[in-house]
Structure 1
């Protein structure tokens, strides 16, 4: 509904103008009326009416002066001048300030109504054009945003976007980061969280992030340090308090690339997030996020699946099974998981490899224990189970459970030395990213139960024991004085050298560099590598 202001110093004329026109029918409502020019100017600037009916001879401020002052202060509305004079000079001045109609008194009702109808039609057309322009701007921004994020923005590369246009699209920030938000629940009743809900922030005017959908996933561009800090805080909370299994939050997955500082670098963050999203298959149990720090160094990867590796792993696992070497079976399965994480092959090839592997093991075990009744699943069940698994760890756990079943069916297994086997496993694998959640199922325990008995038996937690082994080994490497500190951090399984410093100081009371200095004479120090 458009608004109209009626300004005339005679009250009977104002009342007449309100009544001789059916304003509602014409799409207007009277928002205010004024008895002098000063009052009219204040109301125009305050109410910003679509149309002003204005007597040209107003007390305090003359009509044409009022129009000029209103225009100078940015008023864009329409004017119809009402005058008792058909003076050409008045009309000429009024037209100069953008007056639409100059109607002389006494007012002809039909003439006034035609003027109002014409103005209403023009206003409608202007609104339609404005809405279309806004829609086009929105669509253009969506296209440009998609191109900038995915690295296909020729407009940006060729300098066709001006700084002002980028500013108007609210794309400038001191830093950026791309996150891909995937919801993978098979239950359509699960609640869907918006990204703003997850971060507990508002995004009014898209000040903190932009987003678009791609392949049924939400691609989010975080903008500015506030948004990036909020996201990091969310990741920390999520890691400390993972969602309960079956809850709506348990059905989401976030992949995020590196933070960048320029618009033309955003695609780097996107490419990492996109690659990580496709690697959800390799997540550990309960893991819902993958970040740029967990990307394999693909340019260095030379591993690939072939018949030789298939034969090697099937022979190893079969031999350990026949010897009832649980710790060796668990160690080999862990090694297999690490190997598959770093191969060039795609996920379908990895699943095919695992199907072939287990079917070979089944065939060899059946051949060796041909008289035993081993309750193997059928080949079709094995294939279906592996094909339907969404994670690598699920397949490894399935194979692990089957190896336990085989040993139970073909010998006299004992669990008396299970903790010794676990210690053996840790002592030989602490340089890898081993976690209780990943190890416990390989030995037939839940992580919660194994954590309790480990703590009770050894007087410290699983993680502390692993950290002690890492630190002790790092001390040996520091004594050798041949590797730099960051290289030693990598050798003992800490990808982040700052985190290694923190852990080392926690357990030794000094930094790695200080420890190295403490064990060398001043003459030896001259050859140190820090």
Structure 2
């Protein structure tokens, strides 16, 4: 058992340490408090079984320390030592459940006798508490199993369950997932249990692969503060990120099953929200509110967008596209498998487009199976984005080697590789960071033709090649070179060639 001595006079603290044979009485002196505030902090950190405390001290008075400690869930015993025989203080102390009110100078025999009585009381309470804890923990675990799996309770479990229902106490569920090496998990679990049990009324048990903590009757603000401090300590001591999920609603014992399902679902979203150490419904809902109106994720469109940016070597905009995609997935609060599917498909489709344009460069990307395997084992969505960026940088470097350095030449290179897609001057201006009007003038000065004429001639020349060498129908060729409507293709072809596509094909066959 642990004892804490709180007094603002050093000689009194030293005297209390020496006049009592603490070790023989079964106590270890776990610390000293030099005033009320220091004493309160040590009570909450050290969680002693017994506290000897002076009434009058600078800052917080002894009575105020006792009141605040009990508010925070401290369950240890108090002995007040004081030089003032004030009945008002004594009455207030007894009302707080203080075990004894002893006047200074302290009678050594009287104090030892009181400590022995308190020791017996503490040991009996510990024995009863341990039995109750085992029983209640067993009932709660059985209840969870019953609610989640549909199994029935034994008669003894049902009686205990009914007893807990009658108490009508409020609970909150905290689920902890320790992401660390197996050999340290049990140690960290014990640290978490000890820390929380010293500050909150909790029951802890292992359910499936998680540490489940059931918190009783506490203010939400204080719970948040305790959990936040715990996570800081774990990060500092073990260099780990300990993900937690909290159901902030107050529930009854019969609602624990539903609450457990909720915190499990919240914890499953840790992959998508790596910056949230404590996941709650409110925090996740915030992402939906911060996001713009939800849009359907078009994987084909995103992969096409990334492919175009690859060709111009714009990794900054590629990162922006991936970040925007992440935010959209977060706003929709999708499951891990959906996140993996979306990002895997985008990288695979981008690789396919690259392969079609340049087989040698396309081969540098991993296969679809390899991409899915790597992304599946990523720690979170940030790791996924980092992996995709690494793969795309390889492609960018290859495109830079095979494409010219000059900006206008890069634009021509891009057009020649994408003439069969929907190309507009505004799109190129955005890709290459130009004002569209300025780009139009610069393009004409460089090529001697307007942008639209240049595109039309490029497409028509490619159409002529296909008409000469491919067994394709005219409407298929129109689509292959970037014209959606056959009539528009006909008019453009006749404008630049002087005859219709079909006549041109027949002339070539002669």
Q: TM-score range by the shorter chain?
A: 0.3 to 0.5
Could you tell me the TM-score, scaled by structure 2's length?
Answer: 0.42
Per residue, is there more helix in 1 or in 2? 2
Could you tell me the TM-score, scaled by structure 1's length?
Answer: 0.41
